[in-house]
Amino acid sequence: MAEEFVTLHHREHPEAGSADRRLAEVAAEISRTGTYTHTARELDFGAKVAWRNSVRCIGRLYWQSLIVRDRRKVDSADEIAQELVRHLRQATNGGRIRPCVTVFAPELPRQPAPRVWNDQVVRYAGYTRSDGSVLGDPVSVEITAAARNLGWPGGPGTPFDVLPLIVHGREDKPRWFELPDSAVLQVPIEHPEYGWFARLGARWYAVPVVSGMRLEIGGVRYPLAPFNGWYMGTEIGARNLADTDRYNLLPGIARRLGLDTSHDRSLWKDRALVELNIAVLHSFEKAGVTISDHHTESRHFLTHIAREERAGRGVGADWSWIVPPVSSAATPVFHRYYDTEQRYPAFVGQPKAPTDNACFSPHPAREDTTDGTGRTGGSGGSGGPDDALLDDTGNTHDG
């Protein structure tokens, strides 16, 4: 894989010099150490191509704009937490979201790499209650329990408490770190026509930084390489806030719209889903936060395919991820097949961190990830839902 990557890099960037000379250097280093070290230019190229090859991402048209933050020398929990806060600030950019990846230390022979247990840098907590219901995001139940086992006291107790980071440095035990409020931009969800929508108390964070995937470049594995683009509205409005095993807002929205929810033929779910997606797009636009709609992004993806084909490159895609979950047949990406081959470099799945084994002694104090701002934070938000329209399970009701 090293030979394939080096050859690819020099083919697309002949100004990098002799491929044969670099291949000889890599071969000698592997023979001596069991691995090799990417140059800064190789890391930058490899991370960008990994996004270009991401079969589940519809937003790859912008792959060359990715900001690559080389932090391979950072492997302690404290430094990693600080760098993740800096990543959030740089990517957020006051709402004008910038695609970023931060690459931490790679796996080495007989030496594991650092990890972050969170699958995204920002997630909302999911608290299991005594009756089995969940306050907050059900997808976060395991990581929330792990954070509590490590000593996190919990947030304010709203459906949208921002989780701490759980960082496992190369030489450390796992430790938790609060994210500063000032680093986590959140968008309250309201509707351009229905005033009651804001009283549902729903919100979502601005930047989706994926931290649970491994970056593989030329045979070198980087288990901690958090990356982000910006949201497509349906990710929030048709999945995170709508799925029955997530925040499940559709029944409450439908009732407040006066829809007949007694049977599916009324299409109440569809109508409520459209209004929720309108609310998400409207709210992000009003807040000045970058977001894309699924119709625009679908056209952009076909533009990406055309550009790549003109460059003589194939584009792999997973249909089930590329086709939007709303109005699928009304988008151009629906009406075609895709090559499913995963090309490399790539961001790939990896085993989840062992959150069910978080039996370490609680850390004696909160870790400060203020990044020099002097601020620490818990929920990252401004309080609980208005008028209790989100009940203790995180679901809506008529209040």
- What residues does 327 pair with on adjacent strands? none
- Which of these is catalytic: 60, 69, 71, 89? 60
Q: What is the pLDDT of residue 356?
A: 57
- The pLDDT score that the predictor gives to residue 224 is 98
**pLDDT tens digits in sequence order for the chain, 399 residues long:** 999 999 999 999 999 999 999 999 999 999 999 999 999 999 999 999 999 999 999 999 999 999 999 999 999 999 999 999 999 999 999 999 999 999 999 999 888 899 999 999 999 999 999 999 999 999 999 999 999 999 999 999 999 999 999 999 987 799 999 999 999 999 999 999 999 999 999 999 999 999 999 999 999 999 999 999 999 999 999 999 999 999 999 999 999 999 999 999 999 999 999 999 999 999 999 999 999 999 999 999 999 999 999 999 999 999 999 999 999 999 999 999 999 999 999 999 999 877 655 543 333 333 444 333 332 223 233 233 333 334 333 332 222
pTM of the model: 0.89
- Which of 42, 83, 178, 235 does the annotation list as catalytic? 235
Strand partners, 176: 166
| Residue 56 bears catalytic tag | no
Looking at 22, 42, 57, 83, which residue is catalytic? Answer: 57
Strand order from edge to edge, sheet including 346-348 = 220-222, 214-217, 346-348
The total of other beta-carbon atoms located within 10 Å of residue 117's CB is 23
60 catalytic? Reply is yes
Q: Of 3.30.460.20, 2.130.10.10, 3.40.50.10800, 3.90.340.10, which CATH number belongs to 37-388?
A: 3.90.340.10
The C-alpha atoms of residue 354 and residue 182 are separated, in whole angstroms, by 29
> Per the structure block, which two tokens stand in for 23?
């291949």
**Angstrom distance (rounded) from CA 297 to CA 382:** 31
CA distance 174 to 165: 10
Q: Which of 63, 117, 152, 230 is catalytic?
A: 230
- Kindly report the three-state secondary structure assignment for every residue of 59-125: CHHHHHHCEEEECCCCCCHHHHHHHHHHHHHHHHHHHCCCCEEEECCCCECCECCCEECCCECCCEC
Active site residue 148: no
142 catalytic? Reply is no
